[in-house]
A and B are shown apart, each in its own frame.
Chain A
Amino acid sequence: MHELGIVFHVIDAVKEVAAENDAKHVNSVTVEIGEVSLVIPSYFEDCWKWAVSKHEIMTDCQIKIDILPAVTYCEDCQKTYATVEFGKKCPHCGSDKTYLLTGNEFNIKEIEVV
């Protein structure tokens, strides 16, 4: 279960930040998930609900997910395009010399604590 491993990573990182800021409880966590990051938001939410219940400082902690769009850059025509729609091949010039600019991120954006 891929999402579960990532949930554990997020919880560890969040608990560290919470401790550094002398927080008593974490109410919510906002994450940014890239469109092509291989993480499925609904699975992530399910794992999240189960996993946070094991940590006293994070019980009932809400998860908020922002999706970041995937954009690919073409080296040949130097234009960008939407990765999900067009994939590896540039829709402007047909080249496959392209690489992903954004869209595979998985960031912890912010946390809400008391």
Chain B
Amino acid sequence: MDKVRIIEVKQSVFENNDKKADALRNKLKEEKTFLLNLMSSPGAGKTTTLGQVIDRLKDKTRIGVMEADIDGDVDAVAIAEKGVKSIQLHTGGMCHLDAAMTEQGLNELGTADVDFAILENVGNLVCPAEFDTGAVKNIMILSVPEGHDKPLKYPLIFTVCDALIINKMDVIDFFDFDMDKVKEYAYMRNPNLKIFPICAKTGEGVDAVCDWLLNQVNEWNK
């Protein structure tokens, strides 16, 4: 009978992923590719917003998009119709992407001819926030119908994001959405957060988002 041994591991589960994410960021820096991680709840308007951003930026920078979903390819098809390179990633039931899965996706997408890679994460405010994907910047979309109290309910995602897009501003009169309160709650979680109110359907406010994004891309790829 073999002897039972206790091996002390003392390893953080997130640590391995964090290391992989840092390595991926270093690689992207060398390759001069900027990676954006886009997060939101399902239905907040990630793909519609992305469409508006692509229309404005596709002649200024070379864009590649990875659409992550549990199943289906509707998003990748919608993005491909915009005339940029896009692939669909399936997470096989998992609620988020980690750095290893993101790297696989980037390899499949091919980054040699991409300056601005966008990862549209699985629609979810909880799990994607916990796993560093290796992205250079994180951005999230909160839509008006979801309510202004979300920074209180899902604090982590507001902490890890660099910018917050507030979408569906065209319907704000029909909802009890308090713009001052959402800003107050969001800044409580993250005082450095950039906030952009937009309407992805009409394109209102999207120019400001694009200016910020293009600035980030050029800064990283210098």
Contact = CB atoms under 8 A, between A and B. Distances in A.
Interface string A1-35: 11011100110111001100101100100010000
Contact of B12 (A17, A105, A113): A105
Contacts of A5: 94-96, 98, 127, 131
A30 B88 CA distance: 37
A81 interface: no
A110 B9 contact: yes
Contact of A9 (B2, B6, B17): B17
Contact of A111 (B9, B126, B188): B9
Interface in B1-52: 2-14, 16-17
Contacts of A107: 10-13
A110 B8 CA distance: 4
B13 A9 contact: yes
Interface in B137-169: 156
A2 B106 CA distance: 23
A17 B94 contact: no
Contact of B6 (A12, A105, A112): A112
Residue of B14, B96, B188 with highest tally of chain A CB at under 10 A: B14
A106 B12 contact: yes
B13 A10 contact: yes
A103 B17 CA distance: 19
Contacts of B16: 9, 12-13
A79 interface: no
Size bin of chain B's contact surface: 20 to 34
Interface residues of A, number: 30
B103 to A, nearest CB: 15
Given A23-B5, A111-B6, A13 B11 contact: yes
Contact of B94 (A1, A13, A31, A113): A1
A96 interface: yes
A113 B126 CA distance: 34
B6 A110 contact: yes
Nearest to B9: A108
B89 to A, nearest CB: 14
Interface in B172-217: 188
B9 A1 contact: no
A90 to B, nearest CB: 14
Nearest to A37: B130
A38 interface: yes
Nearest to B189: A88
Contacts of B98: 5, 9
Interface of A: 1-2, 4-6, 9-10, 12-14, 17-18, 21, 23-24, 27, 31, 38, 88, 96, 105-114
Interface of B: 2-14, 16-17, 93-96, 98, 126-127, 130-131, 156, 188
